[in-house]
Every structure is written in structure tokens, then in C-alpha cells.
Structure 1
């Protein structure tokens, strides 16, 4: 609001000062009346929802919504796929969309929107993924220590290269965006706090596990930690799983644990804006990244009726059981987390 007045030749200076003071008071009042941005303590991001946010089959966001946002009003954000919901305790969340482009576009729109103060926020990137049977099992929940882009390189057909050699080579110029290490202190804290969470299981998941000979594939669900690799194309089969592990080793990361589609792209958005030190990536395993020894890769990708992996419903619930304990701890101990987290 601008103040203006006219100084007349024979007017009193006292009147001029009075008008200016009143104008300044109105300006300050108008500024104070502007709606302050929401201070976000934790932002929870799902990638997809199957239907509604409550009352039907749950996807990646429904259990988060029911736990934190059932009474929240939607906040529409230009450029974001779905509205943002915020509760009175400073927890906000939204569905960003599947794939690197959709999810990162939504995340950028939200971070840049003036309705939110995300300068001290923690980001819980939450979803499902695939897991190698040598590393884990259906309904596992895994904290990401590293996020890697499955793309950003060169690939060729195996028969066009050296026999038995890798068919991937990183492309120069992407060194800063092809992999991100998440804050080790924060990741270790999340693992320590949630490692004994009471995870759910199901007879259908148990029956599916025994098709695989690996001990890790046959065990009960657990909370684990490792590298998440994101590609817009679902990669399946023992060959591409081995390639994902090769990439993890090539980039100096931890063992490949989860195949997903979004994490590294969201990390790039946060790195360019508010930073990744407060970012957590949490994924539940809803499938193995390859078939069992009696199943071809194509049969695994397109299973016959009754041959699909069980445990989806339990896994999406497990994600929130594990992640919710961390969200609640951060909010209830906000003074310890507001200025960032380092190992205590």
C-alpha cells in the first residue's frame, strides 16, 4: 500500500505528519492481515493413490491421510498434481504423481508456493517398490541411504558388447545429479527408532515367498536400509537386477535394495531449493524384482490369475507404521529437529 500527500504552501506541517502516520498505520495493519505461510515441520509425499484418500483400497497415501489429514482442508497448488493437506501440528502431505517428471514437477510447485514455509521442513518420500530376493522380502520396509538414477548413461544390447560384461556406462556431466547420499545421521536415527516396529504380514505373502529359495526372500518382514534406484521404466529380471547392483557399486553407494521411480528426481528438486539434509526415502516392498527359478521374467511381469504377489495391503500399512513413528517423534521433539539433525 502506498502513502501520498500534497504539501500546500500555507498548510501546517503537523497535518502532514498526521496524514503520514495514519497512512503508515494502515499499511502495517494491511501487512499484518496477510495470511502467514504454514510452517511445515514434516512433508509427506506419496506417489499414487488407487481411488479416494479414504474409504476404499489404500494406495501409497491413504493410510497417511487417515492418520494425519482426515480433518484437513485441501489446499490447491498450481502445478501440483493433487492438493496439499496440512494438520494443526505442522504435518503436510500430498500425492505427487508417478515417475520422475510427474513427481518432481509437483514437488517443485509445492516448494516454491508462498503458502508454505518449508525452510525447516523434513521430507518423507514414501511409496512402494520392488526388491531383489537376495536382499529382502514382500512387506519389508526400507529406508533409503542412497538414491540413484537408473538412467543418465549409455546402454547397449548384451550381444553388441563384450560377452558377460556390464551393458551400462555412466555419461559424463551428470555426476552431481545421478546419485544422492541422504543424511547418514538422519537415516540412522530413522532406522534406530523404527527397526522394531510391529510389521503386518499375510498368508498370501507367506505363500508367495516360499517360491523363492533365498533365505532373505523367505523370512518375515523387517525394517532395512540401503540404496533406492529410480527408473521410469520398470526393470525386471535377474540380469537387470544385477545391473542395478553394479550401478550401486560403481557409484560407491550401499547395496541396491529397492527399485522405484521417483526418489532421485525429488532429491534434485530439494537439492536446488531447500536442500536434502532433511530428506528421508521410505519404501515398502510389494514385489520381487525378478521371477522365481521356475518363472520367466515375462511371466513374472504378466502373471496369470492367482499368481501375483500377495501382501500389498499389509505393505502400504507397514510403511505408515514405520514412517509414522519417525514423523511423530520429529513433531513432538521439534526443538531438537528444527535447526537440522546431527548424530547425538
Structure 2
């Protein structure tokens, strides 16, 4: 081999090595400060009727390029400030599968991230109202036990018994310091309301049901079943109290499963569950549960558009505070300042 050929080969090798090194440097993972997970979007991410993700997308990721993650239902979007988000899918299996794929993806460094699980939900009329936004103090799995028909047990007794062996995967306390921060930063958020939601609330005699939208806290009950009726609502409250959690105020389908995935991979101290109520978990005194499940045209609860906006209005205050004060938050939830 001639000297020229050896030199040319060495030069090509150096260029290839430089190119490879440059590629590795360019592929350094994105440092995520806050990850926002929604469960569904109705259509596009912007420009049409908003589902759970659209207001978040329009606030943080209008110019972001989608990041494809193998195993996740939808792409992840990130902005220059380290705020990332995605539509994870509805139900425990789909949402948690997406979350695990995202956590394990080498393009993203979520080791210091705060996780905000967001979406719409139901609420019992004795404790919540249409349009409210609620931070979880506890997340509880509605399943993982035994159930039977009421007529097959003793009259008036519970029809659910928890199954042993699931103690570590059915009950998740949210970090109380994080919840306190959330309420400190968001409790006074001005919330949207609508004439249709106001009219719908009047069908219910409960004082809580007739309230205007507010920001509150309580237990979020995760179940794949859209349970309805006063009996199922009472059972959800029974489970919450049986496990030592706060009053049940939100019914949803994903938070317990997502929290479990995050907890196993890096702990759950930085997980938040935020939900907006778009329906009551039971009918009013003048309708049966089946009538409530299958309402006549024009008889559905109003306020969906306002509620999905409310969730983002509340949640973004928390996101922006964490990102804006990252030096105080990166190593863990800081102590609350004195009142």
C-alpha cells in the first residue's frame, strides 16, 4: 500500500470517528424537568375541538418536533425549557405501557423529572362539581380484589373484598409536600364555567354539586370500568376508607398504573395527579342510573370545553413554577416558605 493510500485511509478513519463522536454528542438525551401525560386527544393537537392534550400542546409545544418512542402510543414533545408531554392512551394498560416506554427511552433523561398525570374525570355530587380541578392526595386502584352481586351476599353489606398480595400496588400516597405546593400555587386560579354546566348542576340537591368550579384535593380512584350509580360510588368511598386514604373525590382510569410504573423505575415522590370533573358518578334523584348512563339528546352535562381548559390553567402554574425555580426543585421538593 502506498504512503498516499495509507494517509487517505487514516484521514477517512479520522473523519468517520469525528462524525461518530459528533453524532453521539448530538444524541445526548433531553434533560426533562416536567413531564405532562394526558390520556386522549379528540382530533389534532391544535386547531380543533380540544381534548385533554390540546391546551398543553398549544402552551408548550407548538414548535416542537415529535420524538417517536418505540412502545409508546404517541410521540413525545419537548420544549427548550425541559417541559415534555405526550398522549399516553386511555385505561391502565395502554397508559402505563406508554409511560414505561418513555421512561426507558434513551432519548430522554427523566431521572430528575416531575410527572403530572392529567385529564378529565367523574366526581360524586356529595363532594365535587362539574368544572372543578382536583389534586390527588392518594391514588387508589379500584380493582385488585373480589366482587360479587349484591343479592349473593348479606343485605346492606359491601360487595368488595381486597385480595391479599396487592398491598404495594393498589394504594399510592402522593407526596404531601408536593400537594401542599400545588395548592399554594394554584388554589386561587380563576376557572372557566359555562351556562350549560350551571344549568346541569341545578339538577342535583347536594351543596357540593351546585358549587362553581374550584381547586381541591382528595383521593383519585383508578378503575378501567366506568362505574355509575350511588351504589358504586359508595363502594369507591368504602375502598378509599378501607385503605386509609382520604375521601374519594375523583374517578379516573390511569393514575394508579402510571404511578406504579414510575415508582418502580425511580420512585413516586415527584408524581402528581390532576383531574378535572366533567360528569357526576351518578344520576340525580329524578333519574335512574341507566338513564344517567344513556341520557337523552341535550341532557348531558355541560362544561367539558371549560374543564379541559381549567386543568391546563391550574396545572401550568405548577409546571411553570418548577421550571422557573429549577435550582430549588431539581434535587427534590423544597420546603414550603413560611406563610
TM-score range, shorter chain: over 0.9
Aligned partners of 2:156 and 2:18: how far apart in 1?
A: 76
2:114 pairs with 1:133: no
Unaligned runs of 5+ in 2: 1-13
1:343: Cα distance to partner?
Answer: 3.0
TM-score, normalisation: structure 1 = 0.91
1:312: Cα distance to partner?
Answer: 0.2
| 1:254-282 CA distance string (max 9 Å, x none) | 00000000000001100111211000000
* 1:51 to 1:29, Cα distance in 2 relative to 1, 3 A: closer
1:61: Cα distance to partner?
Answer: 0.2
| 1:218-271 CA distance string (max 9 Å, x none) | 011000000000111100000000000000000000000000000000011001
Match of 1:38 among 10, 21, 30: 30
* 1:201 to 1:124, Cα distance in 2 relative to 1, 3 A: same
2:187 pairs with 1:222: no
Match of 1:64 among 30, 52, 56: 56
1:29: Cα distance to partner?
Answer: 4.2
- Give the number of the structure whose alpha-carbon radius of gyration is greater: 1
Size of the aligned set, in residue pairs, is: 324
1:342: Cα distance to partner?
Answer: 4.1
2:331 pairs with 1:339: yes
Q: Higher mean Cα deviation, 85-94 or 29-38?
A: 29-38
Aligned partners of 2:65 and 2:29: how far apart in 1?
A: 15
Query: Where does residue 228 of structure 2 map in the other structure?
Result: 236
SS in 1 for 2:182: helix
Query: Where does residue 6 of structure 2 map in the other structure?
Result: none
Query: Where does residue 291 of structure 2 map in the other structure?
Result: 299
Unaligned runs of 5+ in 1: 1-21
1:77: Cα distance to partner?
Answer: 0.5
Aligned partners of 2:208 and 2:55: how far apart in 1?
A: 27
Query: Where does residue 213 of structure 1 map in the other structure?
Result: 205
SS in 2 for 1:220: coil
Query: Where does residue 95 of structure 1 map in the other structure?
Result: 87
Aligned partners of 2:323 and 2:26: how far apart in 1?
A: 26
Aligned partners of 2:141 and 2:297: how far apart in 1?
A: 33
1:162: Cα distance to partner?
Answer: 1.2
SS in 2 for 1:272: helix
1:31: Cα distance to partner?
Answer: 7.6
Aligned partners of 2:20 and 2:44: how far apart in 1?
A: 43
2:102 pairs with 1:117: no
Query: Where does residue 304 of structure 2 map in the other structure?
Result: 312
| 1:165-205 CA distance string (max 9 Å, x none) | 00000000000001100100001110111000000000000
